[in-house]
Amino acid sequence: MADAAALEAAGDALTARLGPPDVWINCAMQTAFSPFEQMTVEEFDRIVAVTLMGQVNGCRAALRLMPKDDGRTRRIVNIGSGLAYRSVPFQSAYCAAKHGINGFTASLRSELMRQDRPVTLSMVQLPAVNTPQFDWARNRLDRMPQPAPPIYAPDAVARAAVRAVREGPRELLVGQSVLKLVLGHLVAPDWLDRKMAEAGADLQKSGRDEPGGRPDNLDAPVPYPARAEGSFSDRQQDRVLIVDGGWTRLAVFGGVSLLLFLLGLALG
C-alpha cells in the first residue's frame, strides 16, 4: 500500500480479472510501541507511509478504476481509529497517521461532492481490536503490548465496515471507548492529556513478558497463523456499539443546548 506504483499495478490486474470495483476498503497499518525519542527517522517514515499514504494511494487507485459515467454509486471506506481524535503515548507515528487520514478524507470528500461524482467516502473509527498487530509490531515497552481495554473481536468491528458499504455514511464510531475519546477530546482535551500521561502507557501493556529478539513486521512480513485474531481472544467482546458520528454529535450537543434552554425557562 505504501508503494503507489505497485498498488496501481495490482488494481489494474484485479480489474482485468474481476471488472471495475464497486467497493474499496483501505485498512493497511503499521505501528511501533516506542517513545518518540527512541524511534529512528526511518521507523517513523515507514509507519506514516503505510498507515497514511497507504490510504491515500488506495483512494487514488480506486477513483481511477471506478467508472464515472455509468450512473452507479460506488463506496470507498477508510478505516480510522479513536486515536485519530485522541492520541496516546508511545504510538506517535501511528496517531499522526490516523489524524492525517481524517484530514485527507474530509478534503477528498468535499472534492467528490463538488464534482457531483457518485462515490461515497466513509470513515470507520475503530476501538481497540484483538488483531495480530500486538504480536508482530515493533515494541520497546517493558511488557508485551495489548489493545487498551475494552478489547473487541475483529469480526465484531468488521460489521461497521459492512454497514459503511451498505449505507455510505460520513463516519461511524465503533465502541463506547471511541465515543468517550471523541466527545471527551471536544470537551476536556487538557484533562485527557493528563489522563493519558498518567494511565495511557500502562493501558497498552499486557503484563506478559516480551520475548527478547522476536521479529517484527516494520521492515518485512513475519510468519503468523492465517487468522484475524491476535493473542487476546480470552478477553475480547463479541458485540460492539456502532453509531453514526454525525447523529451522535448532534444528539449530544443538541441535547445540552436543549437542557440549557429548558433550565433557562425554569429559572426565568
Mind listing the pLDDT tens digit for each residue in 200-237?
889 999 988 887 778 999 999 888 888 999 999 999 99
Cα separation of 168 and 101, whole Å? 17
| Number of Cβ atoms within 10 Å of the Cβ of 228 | 12
Digit-coded pLDDT (tens) for 50-92: 999 999 999 999 999 999 988 899 999 999 999 999 999 999 9
Q: Which helix (DSSP H) or strand (DSSP E) does residue 217 occupy?
A: none
Q: Which are the contacts of 208, defined by CB distance < 8 A and separation ≥ 6?
A: 143, 144, 146
Place of cell 458520528: 245
Q: Cα–Cα distances in Å, from 229 out to 79, 115, 127, 131, 210? A: 17, 40, 15, 5, 19
Which helix (H) or strand (E) is 134 found in, with range?
helix 133-136
Q: Give 176's pLDDT tier (boundaries 50, 70, 90).
A: very high
Domain count, the chain: 1
Q: What is the pTM of this model?
A: 0.90
Tracing cell 497463523 back to the chain, one arrives at 225
Looking at residue 258, its pLDDT comes to 52
The span from the CA of 84 to the CA of 62, in Å, is 23
The mean pLDDT of the chain is: 92
Q: What pLDDT, in 10s, does the model give residues 10-59?
A: 999 999 999 999 999 999 999 999 999 999 999 999 999 999 999 999 99
For the segment 228-265, what is each residue's pLDDT rounded down to a tens digit?
999 999 999 999 999 998 877 777 766 655 555 556 76
Calpha distance 195→193 (Å, rounded): 5
CATH (domain of 160) = 3.40.50.720
Letter string b/e over residues 156-177, b meaning 16 or more CB atoms within 10 A of that residue's CB: bbbebbebbbeebbbbbbbbeb
Q: Is 84 exposed, middle or buried (0-12, 13-18, 19+ CB in 10 A)?
A: buried
State the pLDDT at residue 263.
64
Residue ranges making up the domain that contains 77: 4-267
Q: Which residues neighbour 82 within 8 Å (Cβ) at sequence distance 6 or greater?
A: 125, 126, 127, 173, 175, 177, 178, 181, 182
Cα 147 → chain centroid = 13
